[in-house]
Amino acid sequence: MSWQDRRYRFAYQVGQLLVGSTGPSNPPVTGPALYGVYVTGGGLLYIGQTGDARRRLRDLPVGESHHLATTVPPETWERIVVVQWPILIASVPSAEVQAAERLGLQVCGLAMEHLLQVMYRPVMTTRRRGAAGGWSARNLDASHSLGAISSTEFPHLFTAVHNAWEDLAGMPTAAGDHGASYTEVGRVVFPATLLGPRTSHSPAPQRALADEDVRVAGRPGMGTRHSGR
């Protein structure tokens, strides 16, 4: 099963780039984090958050506990943005620091996830599968989730998170970067660089993912178990 070996090796390498250390200036990714997946030629597909980045991000391209890789093959992913948002708490007003301490990092992470989803509206968040084989829309603006309810507590933190996200999402795919680029608060991983040589530098995706692009769903993945965050 050489194809299975190749797929798992690729997924493993992507997972290592998402969480691994490259030296003192780029330590391993652990604890809470926000992440987003962009699809080649399509745009931002998915935004998520986790309290255990090492476990979640290593599995993200494998698909053992996360549905995305079994729905949209990671070979089509153009970039993965990771923001270690707790680093930014020290830069916000004391009222927001106190709110984060009162609500906890889990709720704060859910709030940041909700605000990013409302701003970018990734396809896999704004739509859900229907029982009749189609898709139906989700109304993010009317959400009563814990993240939505708490999101008004952190305007300055979200501004910092958004700026960090934009910096990473806008990085070009540079030759010789070993598949990833780094900032003080996160990293961006380029899975396609592990598949073979590229003919040109790739800019950040701009257009929203069209409905027909979701038809990659249903291709065989590398895992079968689904769960939440």
Mean pLDDT is lowest, of 72-76, 101-105, 114-118, for 72-76
Mean pLDDT confidence for 103-111: 97
Locate 206 and state its tokens.
């701009």
pLDDT beyond 90 at 162:
yes
Give, as one character, the DSSP assignment of residue 175. Answer: T
- Residue 125 domain flag: yes
Q: How far apart are CA 51 and CA 148, in angstroms?
A: 17
Higher per-residue confidence, 179 vs 221: 179
Locate 162 and state its tokens.
């958004």
Q: How many CB atoms lie within 10 A of CB 229?
A: 14
Read off the pLDDT of residues 25-58 as tens digits, 9 standing for 90 and up: 889 999 999 999 999 888 999 999 999 999 999 9
- Residue 84 domain flag: yes
Higher per-residue confidence, 27 vs 70: 27
pLDDT at 65: 64
* H or E segment to which residue 135 belongs: strand 135-137
Q: What is the pTM of this model?
A: 0.80
Q: Are β-strands 33-39 and 180-183 bridged in parallel, bridged antiparallel, or unpaired?
A: unpaired
- Residue 71 domain flag: yes
- Residue 93 domain flag: yes
Residue at token pair 């200036």: 25
* H or E segment to which residue 101 belongs: helix 94-103
* 208 touches 121 (CB < 8 A): yes
Locate 88 and state its tokens.
């930014």
At 227, the amino acid letter reads S
- Residue 121 domain flag: yes
For the chain, how are helix, strand and coil distributed in percent, rounded to 5?
Answer: 45, 15, 40
Q: What is the 3-state secondary structure (H, E, C) of 72-90?
A: CCHHHEEEEEEECHHHHHH
Q: How far apart are CA 12 and CA 105, in angstroms?
A: 28
Q: How many domains does the chain divide into?
A: 1
- Residue 222 domain flag: no
pLDDT beyond 80 at 111:
yes
Which residue range(s) make up the domain with 75?
Answer: 2-201
Q: Are β-strands 77-83 and 186-189 bridged in parallel, bridged antiparallel, or unpaired?
A: antiparallel
Q: How far apart are CA 102 and CA 82, in angstroms?
A: 25
- Residue 154 domain flag: yes
- Residue 135 domain flag: yes
Q: How far apart are CA 126 and CA 122, in angstroms?
A: 6
